[in-house]
Structure 1
Amino acid sequence: MSTQTHPQTHLQTSLQASSPTGTALPALQGRDLVWGATRGGAPIVRGVSLTVRAGATVGLIGPNGSGKSSLMRLLAGVTQPQSGEVLLGGQPMQRLTRRQIAHQLALVSQMADTQDAITVQDAVELGRTPWLSALQTWSARDDAIVEQALADVGMAEKKGRVWNTLSGGERQRVHIARALAQQTSVLLLDEPGNHLDIHHQLALGQLIHRLPGTKVMAIHDLNQARHCDWLAVMQQGRLVCEGAPDDVLQADLLEQVFEVRLRVLTDPEDGARVLRFLPL
């Protein structure tokens, strides 16, 4: 992971010291990404560089409007940067075909929807599309992959339901199942717990952390963020600091970026640390 500095970042020295090192090729890398413009003319994503090592679970955190979702779409190749580049497995993404990208990377976005009268199973089967061709037609293996993805998100019993009869939380779980069925080495999730009740948020969190491969999640829940391997903090379109969760989730950073006070509590049942947030 690289450490990007910023004039207001208070953790520059300590985060740089704790940054993982190694010679393995990064799974995903954004270099000096710039995209979009606000009403005032400033870019929505402002020169962001982020390196994601293979096998890591990275949490992208920041307040609303900080550019997290826009950065996720850039990293997924859905949006093209105005400047800078994204590398997937060391290859510039702009040189890869959509099928080549889809073999390596899947995205679960916040608001994906359809007006088509498709079933839950139809939607999840779309995750297998990048792997099908005239020479590689649908097989029993694809059936098994789809069934497992539906079971993983607790939607196996609802596979015959029509899309427009689902609740927001059920649709979110189907989107995640579709991405799981795609079986990529890199999984991007933009607010994966959005619309989910607390039971399914907890189940999803456990599932994500069990999955092999590289995961990047934009998340609001900072207690959930503590379980990531690495955190990257966005503020006003910039990546202001990154590091291990215990290094990043400090009182002065949270006051500066999120405008909250932090109290760290200990659960007497299992000794787990719990973050509590108070207004300034």
Structure 2
Amino acid sequence: MSLSCQSLGWSVRRQPIVQDITLDVRRGETLGLIGANGSGKSTLLKMLAGIRTPTAGRVTLDGRDLATYPQRQIAQRIALVEQQAETGDRITVRDAVELGRTPWLSALRPWSEEDEATVARAIAAVEMQGFETRHWSTLSGGERQRVHIARALAQEPQILLLDEPTNHLDIHHQLSILSLVARLPVTSIVALHDLNQAMECDRLALLQKGRLVTLGPPDEVLTCDRLADSFAVTASILTDPADGARVLRFHKPA
């Protein structure tokens, strides 16, 4: 399943937030969205997910305008984990994850053992076994984030969109969630704040002031000159002696 956008834009009161973005996402890849705060990453993800209507351009799914799909069909194909998604409802962890099955249920297709197994797999994937009966209000920020990701996994999407999924997570769960996303047989688009985590993506799309500045492999996108221009930092590119991976170290400009 392919996802792309052409000349995509979104404005508020004539103030452009995202401008003229054209992007083709490769099937099966993990594409990282990076950029300073306010660069338009979250807005772009919402348009790609079909929950925010572009004010310019269009999003296409398998060559068809996303706006022509019923919401139910979009939800069967695309799942979005937002940066901040809360609920005031008194629900348990299992209730929250079960919501991921909603697009697949109908009067002709009621809840089944297959749905039970899918929910159990999703909870296990984010290491939340034993939390199923815990109420939402008792969870930490990191635990809530893991439940949001489990809900998206239960949706069984072909395209997974994540907005800074490692927010609120301790380092163990940051690494385990990113490793999980990399292993999933889906196309993933991930907005990331940590540029060293972004180095693990297949490609990176760098946004600046709502525009796509560059797109390519991490080694080509995360150069010292571009980091200085887009993030106002100087950087040293180091090599980890353990595995030869490139690591970024940042400094405040002199």
TM-score range, shorter chain: over 0.9
Flag as ranges the 4+ runs of structure 1 deviating above 6 A.
none
- 1:159-238 to 2 correspondences below 5 Å: 159-238=132-211
Q: Bigger shift: 268-277 or 210-219?
A: 268-277
Uncovered stretches (5+) of structure 1, i.e. residues with no partner: 1-25
Q: Cα deviations across residues 188-222 of structure 1 (Å, max 9, x unaligned)?
A: 00000011111110111111111111000000111
CA distance in 1, matches of 2:131, 2:210: 40
Letter of the 2:45 counterpart: M
Q: Cα deviations across residues 114-154 of structure 1 (Å, max 9, x unaligned)?
A: 11101000000000010011111111111011001000001
State the match for 1:61 in structure 2.
34
Q: Cα deviations across residues 84-111 of structure 1 (Å, max 9, x unaligned)?
A: 1111122111100001101110000011
State the match for 2:2 in structure 1.
27
State the match for 2:79 in structure 1.
106
Which of 64, 83, 87 is equivalent to 2:60? 87
Find out whether 1:119 has 2:92 as its counterpart. yes
- 1:13-52 to 2 correspondences below 5 Å: 27-37=2-12, 41-52=14-25
Which of 142, 150, 159 is equivalent to 2:123? 150
CA distance in 2, matches of 1:272, 1:43: 38
Structure 1 SS opposite 2:167: coil
Structure 2 SS opposite 1:115: coil
CA distance in 2, matches of 1:45, 1:255: 22
Find out whether 1:276 has 2:252 as its counterpart. no
Number of residues paired by the alignment? 253
Structure 2 SS opposite 1:47: strand
For the aligned residues, what is the CA RMSD? 1.1
State the match for 2:112 in structure 1.
139
Uncovered stretches (5+) of structure 2, i.e. residues with no partner: none
Letter of the 1:220 counterpart: H
CA distance in 1, matches of 2:243, 2:67: 48
Structure 2 SS opposite 1:215: strand
> How high is the TM-score relative to the length of structure 1?
0.88
Structure 2 SS opposite 1:170: helix
